[in-house]
Amino acid sequence: MGEQYDLILKGGTVLDPSEHLQGSFDVAFKNGKVAAVANDIGDVGNTQVVNAQGKLVVPGLIDLHGHYAYNISPGRADPDPTNLPIGITTAIDAGSTGWMTFPGFRHYVIDKVKTRLLAFLHLSSIGTIPGNIQIPDLEDFRYARSAEAIKCIEENRDVLLGVKVRLTPNGTTLKNAVPALKMAREIADQTGTLIMVHVMESPIPLSEVFGYLKPGDIVTHVFHGDTHNVLDETGQIRPETWEAYKKGIIFDTACFAKHFAIPICRKAVEEGMLPHTISTDKVGCCPPAPALIRYCAPYPPKNYDLLEIMSIFLGLGMSLVDVISAVTSNSASVIRRKDLGTLRVGATGDAAILNLKQGNFTYPDMLGDEITTEQCFAPVATVKDGQLCNLL
């Protein structure tokens, strides 16, 4: 008589970079954990069985950059319908709220939804101001309060990963860019947490930004096409960028609208500067600023989902293993969660079943370039804490 499991995924092509595992296996779950990974796991009694033959079975996906303070701040995404249907079991809010607004975010969203939500705390007390309002988050630096931010992080260590800084004209402004980085460094050092820095439209060069970061800290929207990007005037990757990459600074994509440029992504991949993490900068319905609409012409602003961005980087030349790593084991390592991003026996029971469709799929980057790929990822089913969430 075999062991009783809650759920078995049968016969899928399991790809788990954390375990260097790739091949046809069954995956079983029990009591919310991964219980077994083997060639043929027999089902007993009332075990739920899902036929995964011909499909990819990977650890539950992790989106390192989104905005999920739904109904707390305008234009934030609803976590569960945004993430769970496409295989994302863990999502990270990238600074939608500051210390003044985070308690509401936690009470009304984080503690209520099925998606596992973690977060970065915005350096501004009130959090990110939506782009259509066009008021900088830290135009008034009095909104940056280190003592209160530290207290908030200490009281919410189970979900807060560190502090977020938006280096943009509608984020810190030029005047407050360096003071913001200095304060973020102070907060991260005192709490033993991370810094995430938005570098699209940064008013200061990347070389200066990197000076305030330590290994494990994150630069997000790193492959953007604006000034101070990863390439120099000759189109080569800047030496200081390579130095930061090799030092252990995490390069995150956050491919929203104009925040990524396909030619720069292609150059980085060709040169071996693969993104450590692939993410979306997912937002909800919020009217974009007129300047954003003009900047993205002739395309409307586009917020790709995680599977679409994974498809883009697969088309740019990243291997399947590297793409899956960038949304599972790499992301889990960045957020210091050994129990996530893996199908290791005993780990949290999260998994995604995906289809790798063949055809011609075109993705514009909103800056006038596009890529056509021969493969794209499509969702089939999601397992969260050992339970089947959906089956398409």
So what's the pLDDT on residue 391?
62
Higher pLDDT, 303 or 116: 116
So what's the pLDDT on residue 74?
83
Find out whether 328 and 57 touch, Cβ atoms under 8 Å.
no
φ, ψ at 222 (rounded to 5°): -70, -25
Mean pLDDT of all residues in 313-333: 98
So what's the pLDDT on residue 294?
41
Helix (H, G, I), strand (E, B) or coil at 380: strand
The two most distant CA atoms of the chain are separated, in Å, by 70
What value, to the nearest 5°, has the Cα angle with vertex 299 and ends 268 and 267?
A: 10
Look-up of token digits 């096409």: 225
C-alpha 216/C-alpha 328 separation (Å) is 16
Alpha carbon separation from 332 to 14, 25, 29, 105, 310 (Å, rounded): 18, 23, 20, 22, 17
Conformational region of residue 145, where left means phi above 0, alpha means psi within -120 to 50, and beta covers everything else:
beta
Band of the pLDDT at 132, cuts 50, 70, 90? low
Higher pLDDT, 109 or 301: 109
pLDDT tens digits along 49-97: 999 999 999 999 999 999 999 998 888 999 999 999 999 999 999 999 9
b/e sequence 73-101, b meaning 16+ C-beta within 10 Å:
bbbbbebbebbbebbbbbbbbbbbbbbbb
Mean pLDDT of all residues in 216-244: 95
CA dihedral 158, 161, 163, 169 (to 10 degrees): -120
Specify burial of residue 45 (Cβ count, 10 A radius: 0-12, 13-18, 19+). Answer: exposed
So what's the pLDDT on residue 285?
56
On average, the pLDDT of the chain sits at 92
Mean pLDDT of all residues in 330-356: 98
Mean pLDDT of all residues in 118-131: 91
Band of the pLDDT at 146, cuts 50, 70, 90? very high
Residue 144 has pLDDT above 60, yes or no: yes
Residues 6+ apart with CB under 8 A from 229: 206, 223, 261, 264
Residue 293 has pLDDT above 70, yes or no: no
So what's the pLDDT on residue 131?
65
So what's the pLDDT on residue 329?
98
So what's the pLDDT on residue 222?
96
Mean pLDDT of all residues in 311-315: 97
* Beta strand spans in the chain (E): 7-16, 21-30, 33-38, 48-51, 56-59, 61-66, 88-94, 116-122, 160-166, 194-198, 218-220, 250-252, 351-364, 370-384, 387-391
So what's the pLDDT on residue 55?
98
C-alpha 19/C-alpha 75 separation (Å) is 38
> Nearest CA to 380 among 364, 357, 360?
357
So what's the pLDDT on residue 189?
98
Paired tokens of 42: 């027999």
Residue 228 has pLDDT above 60, yes or no: yes
So what's the pLDDT on residue 134?
73
Higher pLDDT, 298 or 133: 133
Q: Cβ of 20: how many Cβ atoms within 10 Å?
A: 7
So what's the pLDDT on residue 301?
55
Cα 298 to chain centroid, rounded = 27
Residue 217 has pLDDT above 80, yes or no: yes
So what's the pLDDT on residue 32?
97
Residue 297 has pLDDT above 60, yes or no: no
Single-letter residue type at 245: Y
So what's the pLDDT on residue 392?
57
Residue 292 has pLDDT above 80, yes or no: no
Pairing of strands 21-30, 33-38: antiparallel
- Least confident range from 37-46, 274-283, 355-364: namely 37-46
Residue 296 has pLDDT above 80, yes or no: no
Residue 188 has pLDDT above 60, yes or no: yes
C-alpha 343/C-alpha 346 separation (Å) is 8
Mean pLDDT of all residues in 10-26: 97
Sign of CA dihedral 169, 171, 173, 177: negative
Query: Can you name the residues that pair with 133 across neighbouring β-strands?
Result: none
